Amino acid sequence: MALYKHQSLKIYNSISGEKEEFKPITEGYVGMYVCGPTVYSNVHLGNCRTFISFDLVFRYLKHLGYKIRYVRNITDAGHLENDGEEGEDRIAKKAKLMEIEPMEVVQKYSVDFHQILQKFNNLPPSIEPTATGHIIEQIETIKTILDKGLAYEVKGNVYFDVMKYNESQHYGKLSGRKIEDLISNTRELAGQSDKKNPQDFALWKKAEPQHIMRWPSPWGIGFPGWHLECTVMSSKYLGDQFDIHGGGMDLKFPHHECEIAQGHASTGKDPVNYWMHANMLTLNGKKMSKSTGNNILPRELFTGENENLSKAYTAPVVRFFMLQANYRSILDFSDEALSASEKGFNKLMDSLETLKSIKASKSSDFDVSEWRKKCYEAMNDDFNSPILIAHLFEAVKQINLAKANRIKFTQEHIDLLDKTMKDFIFDVMGLEDGENNSKSKDNTNDFEELIHFLIEMRNHARLNKNFETSDKIRDKLLEMKVELKDSREGTTFEIQS
């Protein structure tokens, strides 16, 4: 029987502002859409955090036994500068600067995006559609919205009529905005005079002669509005209504607000049941910005070539760091925090090796079943990874106590502990202890082999009543933060932090 039948998952729904029990539209099946990148530059660390957050969601839903279709788009056209209605297409602008074709820009940065997420061990989505691959569908959706009287065409541009839509629906219900406040806070900007109202947004834009991203349409040569692509691709692959829509907090307004309006205008239904938004990443307490130099690219993390870093960090350590905060919380990135995470990550991985050496007893001093239940309770509480990590470290503590012969485990509990830790560390959290961490692992193994060798020397000295040598070995190991524990069963050791 699937795990989800025994778990009560709650998700914080941005549209209600509350944690709600998750009930998919179709039992056992989940449809999830996450806004992907606009591929005109290298993926930045804040984007990585968002996609790692939703990879955690994807992994946990899979772990619970749901059949899940995860759709994440690639924006390769229509996203204008400053997320506005005017200006150049970001990809077209970069193509001009680089003196290459727009699709070369798309290819270059799509490859970078995939390589970085693969390094972070993100699972690929089920479908990864592109905006340019769905121009026909976007045109058809615009026709539908026009036919329903919720959009209008002016000089080759098609705009969504927000005021008309708001007569029967609430434009602003996701972000908590009221149309009256939007009107009073909006200035008439140059180039927007064709609109009936400043709040109206573009479904289709006329392409000026210099605009190199352009397609034929019933309204002339042009290109689709940025908001439209997500409405079209999510509904095509997940249906008019689906379970989860995710993205960064910065997309809540206007992008996701416009998606709701477009979806309802074209189908008469609210498109999404659960809206999820991941919060931002700061660096040393300040917003990340390339212009101020307060910025780190993912590849700089792996090489250490950034003035904010004292050393290089592996992708699993960075991923572990990002999961130490709930996805809805602001997370501050710093060299000190990464260094602490690296130590914690190594302790977590070392505990799995230690567990292999624990000898089974006839009774247990630690209730593994109750601990396992708490791990699921943490993840069922809106994917609360920091609480899950705290529970995992409680298990690390118990494993180290068992290694020191201070508590006991039955074989059944050892097996359950091993399986549960691996389930959450590898399958759910997506951490790796493979080649990315092979160097530190090899060093750990070498160090432990040295400790075992010195313990053998000490035992030999004690057997020959050479207590001076025996004490020197013990004291030297203590200097190396290795504490020896002698018992009737033999000598064990604990590496202190």
- Residues in binding site for Zn(2+): 35, 230, 255, 259
Tell me what percent of the chain is helix, strand and coil, each rounded to the nearest 5.
50, 15, 35
Binding-site residue positions: 35, 230, 255, 259, 290
In sign, the C-alpha dihedral spanning 338, 344, 350, 352 is negative
Q: What is the largest CA-CA distance in the chain?
A: 99
Could you write out the DSSP letters of every residue in 340-366?
HHHHHHHHHHHHHHHHHTPPP-SS-SS
Q: Contact at 8 Å (CB) between 162 and 270?
A: no
Instruction: Name the 3-class secondary structure at 490.
Output: strand
Between the alpha carbon of residue 200 and those of residues 140, 166, 236, the distances in Å are 19, 11, 24
Q: Are 158 and 152 in contact (CB under 8 A)?
A: yes
Please calculate the CA angle 391-67-137 and round it to the nearest 5 degrees.
125
CA distance 352 to 360: 15
- Give me the helices (H) in 121-240, please: 135-147, 162-166, 179-184, 226-238
Between the alpha carbon of residue 156 and those of residues 127, 151, 159, the distances in Å are 32, 13, 10
* CA–CA dist 150, 195 (Å, integer): 13
Residue 169 CA to its chain's centroid (Å): 32
Q: Identify residue 398 by its one-letter amino acid code.
A: Q
Identity of residue 124? P
Q: Among all chains, which residue has been given the structure tokens 């692959």? A: 237
Phi/psi for 8 (5° steps) reads -115, 90
Angle at 257 between CA 251 and CA 262, to 5 degrees: 125
Question: Treating both helix axes as pointing N-terminal to C-terminal, what angle do 102-119 and 90-98 enclose, rounded to 10 degrees?
Answer: 100
Q: Which residues are annotated as a binding site for ATP?
A: 290
Query: CA angle, corner 315, sides to 310 and 320, nearest 5?
Result: 95
CA atoms within 13 A on the CB side of 167: 7
